[in-house]
């Protein structure tokens, strides 16, 4: 991969991943489904550390898992959490959501009978800003923070094919921060002009597969 493209992608990854650290305790963990099984591993580690008393795994099939996952993301993530030592009795499952907003809005109805004021969204590193923005708008009764596996850009993708895919997803995600905030689906996130310049260069370099037209 061209070094300039790699460095631009790293800047975008670092921006999208940058969120304040979560609190030491929260009322629950909302584990956002995706194609990355390192996310439920991270959620299980948080649970074992006593960060929250229960986990809600959310996700149906998304654009990366439709036709590739044998079960909905929320189901597979829950199974992975159990493998990592989380009791089944401490896990709830939402298995219909197909996007980040639905992860929050669909999950909300599963815990209406509980007193929940704080939540930690557990997600891929470069979903951190979108997770916060979606949760803040879709489930405003909860004070949201975000936690993700501590993976630098250089270590996130296992090979160049996965890296190219990751860049395409990040390019789409940055645009959605702006577009979905304008539509009222997410809370606004300030994106510096220098990051939009990175975005434009990556689109021009051919990474616009998930750009909204």
Domain ranges of the chain: 3-15+152-204, 19-147
Tens of pLDDT, residues 59-105:
999 888 988 899 999 999 999 999 999 999 999 999 999 999 999 99
* Cα within 13 Å of Cα(51), Cβ side: 25
For 33-72, write each residue's pLDDT tens digit.
999 999 999 999 999 999 999 999 999 998 889 888 999 9
Q: Which CATH superfamily is domain 19-147 in?
A: HUPs (3.40.50.620)
Please state, as a whole number, how many other Cβ atoms lie within 10 Å of the Cβ of residue 11: 17
Q: How far is CA 16 from CA 61, 132, 180, 193, 204, in A?
A: 23, 11, 15, 14, 20
């Amino acid at each position: 991969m061209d070094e300039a493209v790699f460095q631009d992608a790293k800047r975008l990854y670092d921006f999208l991943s940058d969120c304040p650290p979560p609190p030491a305790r929260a009322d629950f963990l909302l584990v956002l489904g995706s194609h990355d099984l390192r996310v439920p591993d991270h959620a299980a580690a948080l649970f074992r550390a006593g960060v929250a008393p229960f986990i809600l795994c959310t996700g149906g099939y998304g654009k990366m898992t439709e036709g590739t996952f044998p079960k909905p993301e929320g189901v597979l993530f829950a199974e992975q959490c159990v493998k990592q030592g989380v009791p089944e009795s401490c896990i709830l499952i939402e298995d219909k959501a197909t996007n980040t907003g639905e992860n929050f809005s669909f999950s909300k109805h599963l815990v209406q009978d509980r007193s929940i004021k704080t939540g930690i969204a557990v997600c891929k590193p470069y979903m951190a800003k979108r997770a916060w923005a979606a949760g803040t708008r879709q489930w405003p009764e909860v004070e949201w923070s975000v936690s993700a596996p501590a993976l630098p850009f250089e270590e996130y993708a296992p090979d160049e094919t996965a890296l190219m895919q990751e860049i395409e997803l990040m390019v789409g995600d940055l645009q959605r921060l702006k577009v979905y905030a304008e539509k009222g689906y997410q809370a606004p996130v300030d994106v510096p002009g220098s990051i939009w310049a990175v975005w434009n260069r990556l689109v021009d370099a051919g990474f616009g597969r998930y750009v909204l037209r």
